[in-house]
Structure 1
Amino acid sequence: MEADEIGLRGVQETLLVTLRAKAAESALPDSLLKDHFAADLVRRLNGRTRAPSVGHDMTIGIAVRAYMLDRWTRAFIQRYPDAVVLNLGCGLDTRVLRLDPPPRVAWFDIDFPDVIALRQNLFADRAGCTTIASSITERAWIDRIPDDRATIVVAEGVLPYLSEQEVRDLLRRLTSCLSGGEIVFDAYSRLGIEILRYNPSLRATGAEFRWGMEDARALERDLPGLTLLEEISQYDAGQVARLSPMARIAAHVVSSLPMLRRLGRLLRYRFSGTAA
């Protein structure tokens, strides 16, 4: 069965790229993510989807991104044991399994209806975890989220596929409807978005990159109550050492030029509210 036979096209098909990258990285002897859940899903999907080609450096990059978002989410849950977690554009991400939060954490996995249908066929029901079948740009789904508990919003590999207006509308709804907490996601400069458009693995899906952001502080100015807490634009030395020789050279060049550090970043914001 090909990917398009199970309804995965464009942006939705990119979930296979990230899934296979996480599984491949977790098979390496020096794995950072250690996502054996992703590896199990890849085995179960074998023969049912086409296998997107994911290079070594992209595999490392996706694993580092997931690891950092996991770390921020885990720390938030430790501070707020009855937190709400919104996993936007969840795809077949196994974060809820990797972090294994207690049932009192209200975890919501949100994605397009066909993605959620596939997810429900592959994931067992879990106490405290709810799936919501909706585009994250729709307004109605947020009415199902508790508005009286500290909330962390996780958007991994999602926001660049939205328009600038959609990103701002989404963040405005989240910060105005929820009681407070954090929002963590990956973002790219406009040059970074142009470079991503030529990535063969992502280009093969036909997905369109739309939103780039030059200054992480710009969201603070546009969305009152949003405060930048952390901006990560470089790998640590241990992860750079795992890259190919050419990618190590590129990483060194990027780290030495401030303008290039904005190519890709992980961002953590706090948004104000009574619970946070």
Structure 2
Amino acid sequence: MAEKTNIIPTQTPKYKPSARIKVNLSGTAETMLQSFYARAKYSNNKEHKFYDSKAVEIVEKIDYDFSLAEGDSTMSDGVIARTLVFDELVKNFISENPNCTVVNIACGLDTRFYRMDNGRLKWINLDLPEIIDIRNEIFDEPERILNIGCSVLDASWVKNIDACEKVLFIIEGLSMYLTKNENAKMLEIIRKNFSGATVMLECLAKRWINREKIEKSIHKTGARFIFGADCFEDIADIAAGFRKIKDDNITRGMIALHPVLRLFEKLPFVDKISEKILIFESE
């Protein structure tokens, strides 16, 4: 993730574009389009477990070749499985903390707010300025959403967040593209500025590091898997000042997609290859 110092906190323009929006991105930034398309495509499956109406609505507004994403079932299944599990975890957190602030780091074109909104929470979308520019062109979002264009590694983004209640940080689809030191810096910024905050961090299983070729649409963007963790203990050195709540993974999301996988759920290798969602809080 490139360092950016220009911060763009914005309220989204109150109009909808009449023409398709041309998107020119590469590397990690481009992966957001693959994830977004996977959710839209899945939502049109009559057997869907969740329906992402926003993704379905706006996918046609984007001028981008989704042909590789269309045929990349490995990428798509992973995105949908983690969406199912993250939705469950985030919904439970909001139920317990209805006035919370949710900070969605590396938000891309994520639409979870529209599935989770209880009419009271605050939602912060954080991503690089060029991503937020695209988001602002596409979305017509309510006032309780604030979009901030800034690198997560530039600590000045925290000045835009006024949170008086419990804070949840969602970090989905990002840590695997950052170095160990960059992940450490991201977590340090959260710890120093948000006491008692909860973090839900998606991590690639360690055995998939440098094996991004299995997801053809991701590999074509130039993004590379360079970081992974199998449990909180694997990141204890870069998560100093946090305490573990629990280690989770996306296995139950995969089983929801492919029930036959339940036959293998208890086998040790399944946990070894599953993407993890590590949940912890700042002390």
Query: Into which bin does the TM-score normalised by the smaller protein fall?
Result: 0.7 to 0.9
Please identify, of 175-184 and 221-230, the stretch whose mean Cα deviation from structure 2 is larger: 221-230
Q: Which residue of the partner structure matches residue 70 of structure 1?
A: 87
The CA distance in 1 between the partners of 2:265 and 2:225, in whole Å, is 21
Please identify, of 155-164 and 189-198, the stretch whose mean Cα deviation from structure 2 is larger: 189-198
* In the alignment, structure 1 residue 239 sits paired with structure 2 residue 261: no
Q: Which residue of the partner structure matches residue 86 of structure 1?
A: 103
Q: 1:13-32 alignment to 2 at 5 Å?
A: 13-32=30-49
Structure 1 residues 59, 154: closer, same or farther in 2, change over 3 A?
same
The CA distance in 1 between the partners of 2:245 and 2:203, in whole Å, is 13
Identity, in percent, stands at 21
The CA distance in 2 between the partners of 1:51 and 1:187, in whole Å, is 25
Q: 1:103-118 alignment to 2 at 5 Å?
A: 104-118=120-134
Query: Which secondary structure does the structure 2 equivalent of 1:194 belong to?
Result: coil
Q: Which residue of the partner structure matches residue 264 of structure 1?
A: 274
Q: Where does structure 1 lack aligned partners over 5 or more consecutive residues?
A: 243-247
Q: Which residue of the partner structure matches residue 33 of structure 1?
A: 50
The CA distance in 1 between the partners of 2:210 and 2:192, in whole Å, is 32
Shift of 1:252: 6.2
Among candidates 117, 130, 133, match of residue 149 of structure 2: 133
Contact preservation (8 Å) 1:160, 1:187: yes
Shift of 1:217: 2.0
Contact preservation (8 Å) 1:150, 1:179: no
Letter in 2 for 1:264: S
The number of equivalent residue pairs is 261
The CA distance in 2 between the partners of 1:74 and 1:213, in whole Å, is 24
Among candidates 200, 205, 209, match of residue 193 of structure 1: 209
Where relative contact order (Cα < 8 A, 6+ residues apart) is larger, the structure is 2
* In the alignment, structure 1 residue 49 sits paired with structure 2 residue 46: no
Shift of 1:235: 3.1
The CA distance in 1 between the partners of 2:250 and 2:88, in whole Å, is 16
Deviations 1:149-173 (A, max 9, x none): 2111011111111111111111122
Contact preservation (8 Å) 1:2, 1:49: no
The CA distance in 2 between the partners of 1:262 and 1:185, in whole Å, is 17
Q: Which residue of the partner structure matches residue 178 of structure 2?
A: 162
Structure 1 residues 207, 76: closer, same or farther in 2, change over 3 A?
same
Deviations 1:188-240 (A, max 9, x none): 23321233244211011111222122443233455133213232252364432
Please identify, of 53-62 and 77-86, the stretch whose mean Cα deviation from structure 2 is larger: 53-62
The CA distance in 1 between the partners of 2:205 and 2:20, in whole Å, is 33
TM-score, normalised on structure 1?
0.85
Q: Where does structure 2 lack aligned partners over 5 or more consecutive residues?
A: 1-18
